[in-house]
Amino acid sequence: MLRQYKLKNFNFKLVLFVVALSVLGYFAIGSARVSYQDRQMYGIIIGVIFMIIISLVNYSYYYYVGWVIYGLNIVLLLMVLILGKEINGAKRWVNIGFQFQPSELAKILLILFFAQFIMRNKKTMNTLPTIIAAMLLLAGPILLIYLEPDLSTSIMIILLFCVMLFVGGLSYKVVFTFLGLAIPASVIFFSLLLREDDNFLKGYQTGRILAWLNPEKYADTTAYQQINSTIAISSGQLFGKGLNNNVISSVKNGNFISEPQTDFIYAIVGEELGFIGAAAVIVLILLIAIECFKIARYAKDDMGALICSGMAGLISIQAFMNIAVATGSMPNTGIPLPFVSYGLTSLVSLYMGIGVVLNVGLQTTKTH
């Protein structure tokens, strides 16, 4: 499982970008809620340790334990529904001596599982039986996450799944057929949603979407945080108000955003570090994704390429959704900003995923 590698193949740039983004998040969290800052540093340290260890484990090993990974994923998600701790009306956390969120780890486990699944079925990827089998395998984890309830994570994993299928060789014909069905289905979905007397989502989910569509109507309730988030980001201007500032007009100091260290951490970055800080987050996210794709390009096999592409897709999609929420471009989702938002499970899980990507890079057989 462990083997000797050449140090020159270790992607130090990727590590530098990830750690830099984490450190930026560490300072933003300290400014938002100083009581969470030390725990975030512990998460960074633990994450780096896991990343280094996993980067030395031959990723080809996951090919042979794919079903074990899938089974572990299902067990962890079932534990949430059976033993989970309910917070704010949702069961998303399990306490086994320490509290963690299985749905965050599920993202990494599903990338590893579907990477080996797609590689095994490469030749039949565009056949109906293989596509149906893949969708059924995805349906189990998605349903368990949705029942927590966590609709936004379910949607994000579906998008990630589509990215991996496309990278794995899914035909353009299948993609366009899917879009041809998805676009009108989305129109019908929003049409039904606007009928407030006949909704099929949970109350808070409907409220978030309606607040996004009509923020003025819900300015004092559901849309309150998003409106204040956009105000905070715009008020930062070019250089921001400074970390840990005491400016009375600060949205953070006025407590106009609840739990700013998690879902709306980008608002803190925008307000206190300005356009430069907000742009730095986006640039670092892009650099991380680019490095993952570069490693995917030179991977020795399809599984390595799929793992790297999956991680690039995960980080990019998750960052896009979080920043879109903070800027009022989409409904509130509760998706954390990768490596920046407070949350030890999310942070450590992402570092573990980066560790696998680094191992793929260590085994490259092509010239960069």
> Residue 222 pLDDT more than 80?
no
Mean pLDDT is lowest, of 207-211, 258-262, 267-271, for: 207-211
How much is the average pLDDT of 33-58? 94
Q: Write down the mean pLDDT value for the chain.
A: 86
% of the chain at pLDDT higher than 90: 52
Q: Which residues contact 16 (CB under 8 A, 6 or more apart)?
A: none
> Residue 3 pLDDT more than 70?
no
How much is the average pLDDT of 71-84? 91
How much is the average pLDDT of 198-207? 58
pLDDT recorded at residue 92: 81
> Residue 12 pLDDT more than 90?
yes
E strand or H helix at 143: helix 128-146
**Domain-by-domain residue ranges, the chain?**
7-362
Can you tell me the distance from the alpha carbon of 107 to that of 350, in angstroms, rounded to the nearest whole number? 9
- Paired with 94 in beta bridges are 100
> Residue 54 pLDDT more than 80?
yes
pLDDT recorded at residue 211: 60
Q: What is the CA radius of gyration of the chain?
A: 21
pLDDT recorded at residue 242: 86
Residue 368 banded pLDDT, cuts 50, 70, 90: very low
How much is the average pLDDT of 292-296? 95
137-150 per-position pLDDT tens digit: 999 999 999 888 78
pLDDT recorded at residue 240: 87
> Residue 346 pLDDT more than 70?
yes
pLDDT recorded at residue 98: 74
pLDDT recorded at residue 340: 95
- Structural tokens at position 303: 């599984």
Can you tell me the distance from the alpha carbon of 134 to that of 29, in angstroms, rounded to the nearest whole number? 39
Dihedral over alpha carbons 141, 132, 297, 360 (to 10 degrees)? 40
pLDDT recorded at residue 220: 58
87-104 per-position pLDDT tens digit: 666 778 887 777 888 999
Residue 236 banded pLDDT, cuts 50, 70, 90: confident
Instruction: List, as one string, the DSSP characters of 40-100.
Output: HHHHHHHHHHHHHHHHTB-TTHHHHTHHHHHHHHHHHHHHHHHHPEEETTEEEEEESSSEE
- Bigger pLDDT: 70 vs 128: 70
How much is the average pLDDT of 282-304? 95
pLDDT recorded at residue 288: 98
3-state secondary structure of 95: strand
pLDDT recorded at residue 89: 64
Q: Which of 228, 278, 222 is nearest to 253 (CA)?
A: 228
pTM for this predicted structure: 0.90
- Rank 178-182, 206-210, 326-330, 339-343 by mean pLDDT and report only the highest: 339-343
> Residue 249 pLDDT more than 80?
no
